[in-house]
Structures are given as structure tokens and as C-alpha cells.
């Protein structure tokens, strides 16, 4: 009976996943769009990350804590960019993607246009949905976070970060689109560099922000489908001169 129960539960989970995938394809029926069903990460210990702790210390006029290893710290090393964990990892920018995939099991999709289907939107804050998006020769990190910016009033924040430098990020434009029940909502902006810290972007509100009622308006049975498109927004100066 135990074996039967476990197998039956796995089959139900698979049916539910396929149903969520079908719903997303029904909403975003454009040819060539890939659908990624993203489950939430909830009830994690949101220990302040190094960039968040440094920002808080600066705002309070308190110098950031000093560690003995900082005297020999390599300025080319960057901390772990995954917003879900307080991860002590450091490495060069070109190996960040490998760290996110191998250590944190972050899924990656390829294509200029994809659909990000976040499930279980009803879960209490803080909750994160996250994937990597590979296109145009670069990797991007899409973060959807449910967070109480004001006590008792959870909001949803969606942003796209380039796993690269701020100069590289300026070459792209990303678009997030919600489309349901003859309503359409778009957010278009230049992605921020992952070096600038996801927490800071959300705190500044430089992203797509949805209150609970607006998120429910675009959700379907607790799932929110977000269409994502990335384009180049700037021609390199050398190409312009030619």
C-alpha cells in the first residue's frame, strides 16, 4: 500500500505539471515560445546577503564588518548571486552560471522568447521563483519574489538581471508581459547587472511590481504566466562607425 500510494502521488504530480504546462501554452500560443513551470522556494532562512548587509550598514551609518581575509580579497571575485540563499561562495563572473546550476539547481532555458509559469502564488511571503534564461550569447537571471514591503501587504516583484557587467547589461532590453482575460500588462526596461544585487533592485522598485489584487487578476488557479522577451538595444560604437 505504501508503494502504491507513493507511485500514485508521483503520477498525480506529473499530471498536475503537464496540466500547468498546457495552460501556459494556451495563454501564450505564439509559435516558438518555450514554457518553463517554476515551483516556489518557500520558508528559507533569509539571512542577509553580503550586499544587503553592506547596504543596510551604509544606510545606518555603520561601517560593514571587517574580516581578516578582506586584506587579501581578490576584487575580481563576486559573491554568489542566487537570491534564495545566504551562500558563502565566491568566484569569477564567468563561472557564476556553473555555480548556480550545479549548487543551487537553477533551471536554464534557451530562446529569445520564453514563458515563465510561476505556481502556487498563494503561498505566504517571502517566496521566490527563479530561472536562468540563455539567449543572444548571454545568460540572464529572472527573479520573481513575493515579499511584504509593507507589513500585511505582500507584493510581487519581477526583474531580469544579466550575469555580466553593467556595461554589457546596457546593450539589452527585456520585456515582461502578462496576458489574460483580454487584459495585457507590459514592463520593459534595461536589465541590471547581477553585480548590482537583486535585493537592491527590488528595494528600489526598479522592476515589475504587482500588488496582490493585480496578480490575482492575471493568475489562473494560483499560477502566474509571464512572457519574457530579450532584445539588443544598443549598437556597439565600432559597428555604428562602420
Domains of the chain, first to last: 32-42+74-232 (2.60.210.10)
| pLDDT in the model for residue 115 | 92
| pLDDT in the model for residue 176 | 96
Cell of 85: 540563499
pLDDT band, very low/low/confident/very high, at 75 (cuts 50, 70, 90): low
Within 8 A by CB and 6+ apart from 50, the residues are: 79
H-helix segments, the chain: 2-27, 50-59, 96-103, 166-169, 198-204, 212-218, 237-241
pLDDT band, very low/low/confident/very high, at 9 (cuts 50, 70, 90): low
Share the mean pLDDT of the chain.
Answer: 76
Q: List residues bridging with 91 in a β-sheet.
A: 78
The better pLDDT of the pair 1, 228 is held by 228
| Region 67-96 average pLDDT | 68
Above 70 in pLDDT, residue 101? yes
| Region 147-156 average pLDDT | 88
Closest among 162, 119, 158, 156 to 140, alpha carbons compared: 162
Above 50 in pLDDT, residue 138? yes
| pLDDT in the model for residue 239 | 44
Within 8 A by CB and 6+ apart from 81, the residues are: 96, 100, 141, 161, 163, 194, 198
Within 8 A by CB and 6+ apart from 96, the residues are: 78, 80, 81, 163, 194
CA distance 113 to 108: 13
| pLDDT in the model for residue 68 | 35
pLDDT band, very low/low/confident/very high, at 60 (cuts 50, 70, 90): very low
The better pLDDT of the pair 190, 11 is held by 190
| pLDDT in the model for residue 229 | 93
CB 213 within 8 A of CB 155: no
3-state helix, strand, coil in the chain (%, to 5): 30, 35, 35
CB 104 within 8 A of CB 82: yes
The three-point CA angle 117-192-138 to 5° equals 70
Residue with cell 515563465: 116
pLDDT band, very low/low/confident/very high, at 173 (cuts 50, 70, 90): very high
5-19, 62-76, 160-174: segment of lowest average pLDDT: 62-76
pLDDT band, very low/low/confident/very high, at 225 (cuts 50, 70, 90): very high
CB 131 within 8 A of CB 60: no
72-76, 77-81, 111-115: segment of lowest average pLDDT: 72-76
The better pLDDT of the pair 133, 78 is held by 133
Amino acid at each position: 500500500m505504501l508503494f502504491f500510494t507513493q507511485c500514485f502521488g508521483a503520477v498525480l504530480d506529473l499530471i498536475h505539471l503537464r496540466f500547468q504546462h498546457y495552460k501556459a501554452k494556451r495563454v501564450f500560443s505564439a509559435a516558438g515560445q518555450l514554457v518553463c513551470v517554476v515551483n516556489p522556494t518557500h520558508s528559507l532562512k533569509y539571512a542577509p546577503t553580503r550586499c544587503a548587509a553592506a547596504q543596510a550598514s551604509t544606510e545606518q551609518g555603520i561601517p560593514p564588518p571587517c574580516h581578516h581575509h578582506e586584506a587579501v580579497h581578490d576584487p575580481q571575485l563576486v559573491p554568489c548571486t542566487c537570491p534564495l540563499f545566504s551562500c558563502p561562495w565566491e568566484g569569477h563572473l564567468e563561472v557564476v552560471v556553473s555555480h548556480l546550476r550545479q549548487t543551487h539547481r537553477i533551471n536554464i532555458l534557451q530562446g529569445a522568447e520564453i514563458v515563465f509559469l510561476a505556481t502556487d502564488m498563494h503561498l505566504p511571503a517571502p517566496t521566490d521563483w527563479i530561472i536562468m534564461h540563455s539567449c543572444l550569447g548571454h545568460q540572464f537571471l529572472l527573479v520573481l519574489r513575493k515579499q511584504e514591503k509593507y507589513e500585511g501587504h505582500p507584493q510581487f516583484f519581477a526583474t531580469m538581471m544579466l550575469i555580466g557587467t553593467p556595461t554589457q547589461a546596457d546593450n539589452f532590453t527585456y520585456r515582461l508581459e502578462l496576458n489574460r482575460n483580454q487584459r495585457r500588462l507590459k514592463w520593459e526596461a534595461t536589465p541590471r547587472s547581477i553585480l548590482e544585487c537583486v535585493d537592491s533592485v527590488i528595494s528600489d522598485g526598479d522592476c515589475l511590481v504587482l500588488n496582490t489584487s493585480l496578480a490575482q487578476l492575471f493568475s489562473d488557479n494560483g499560477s502566474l504566466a509571464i512572457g519574457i522577451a530579450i532584445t539588443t538595444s544598443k549598437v556597439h560604437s565600432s559597428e555604428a562607425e562602420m
